[in-house]
Amino acid sequence: MAPPQSLYAIPLRDPFARSEMAEPTALIRLAVAGKRRLTPDIWEFTLAAAGGAALQPFEPGAHIGIETPSGAMRQYSLVNDGRAPDRYVIALKREPESRGGSRSMVEDTEIGGTLRADAPANSFPLAEAPGYLLIAGGIGIAPILAMANRLDEEGKPFRMIYCSRSAAEAAYLHEMRDRFGGRLTVHHDGGDPDAHYDFWDDFAEPADIRVYCCGPKPLMEEIRAVSGHWPEGRVQFEDFRPVEAVRPDDRPFEAALRRSGRTVAVPADLTILEALRGAGIRVPSSCESGVCGTCKTRLLAGEADHRDRVLMPEERADFIMLCVSRAQSGALTLDL
């Protein structure tokens, strides 16, 4: 994905997994070898290793973290075959209210320029099964297309359902129709919530298949609802929607940095991480959506408004995730 911000395809990690102080992965430099507009809002980027270095292989469902021109780290699903890659291909949706991710990628990158990225990771892996149902909505097609291409190459049985507002807003539509034929079902709702695709026939009776779903929140909720009676583990989701880091009723506050002796103002419309970055203070980060643990920082004083999916309950008095959480009231003192 998804993002997602344009976090199209941000992996949703286990919110109850214990987090340690994460070390940032070494970033590699990638050259922007291609950039094309797939739909009015969806763009595809082809990234090659600067200097011709070998790229790390990956499996369908994988994503990479990219440092956008704005300095923000964002996660994007990989679309291409990753068995012996000479490039990384990602697709993202430009969001009008982007906070430094998709808008920066679309507006501030040029072919021939470079970006920094981390190694591919995969929290949405394609497992062995007798058959598959692949479901995508909007930009959620990115990891789903990678899966469909692999299954097609290996001659494994699958069906695919792709939902979008219109044909013009459906990325890779012609390519998929040509390749997958009758295995592909396409549904356009025209933006009308009452015209959504009826998935009940696909889920009425549990089947011995694996289901993979990636798309916007309403699609995910619908699939969860109609598959509640299926055996656990048969239906897998890639949730590319980020944690709501900034909310309409948020207020500004200050972050006091104990070790450096500095105090940074955090406006109502920025995260702590963004405010620190704007003040020239670099803090390790990766997902920037409250799910990876990289920006976990010791909280020395103040009451935090925790919005992450990483910290254990007993950690919340002593740590904070800088990318999404903020102050309940007053100031925070951080071990920075």
Q: How many CB atoms lie within 10 A of CB 38?
A: 19
Ordered domains of the chain (ranges, CATH): 28-117 (2.40.30.10), 132-238 (3.40.50.80), 253-334 (3.10.20.30)
Q: Helix 173-180 and helix 141-153: axis angle, to 10°?
A: 20
pLDDT band (50, 70, 90) for residue 25 = low
CA distance 86 to 70: 26
CA distance 189 to 49: 39
Is residue 209 a contact partner of residue 234, using CB atoms and an 8 Å limit? yes
Q: Mean pLDDT for the chain? A: 88
pLDDT band (50, 70, 90) for residue 4 = very low
Is the model's pLDDT at 44 over the cut of 90? yes
CA distance 149 to 147: 5
Q: Which range (127-136, 177-186, 228-237, 245-254) has the least confidence?
A: 245-254
Is the model's pLDDT at 22 over the cut of 80? no
Position 10 scores a pLDDT of 34
Position 3 scores a pLDDT of 36
Contacts of 14 (CB under 8 A, 6+ apart): none
Is the model's pLDDT at 7 over the cut of 50? no
CA 147, 118, 217, 137 torsion-angle sign:
negative
CA dihedral 145, 151, 162, 199 (to 10 degrees): -140
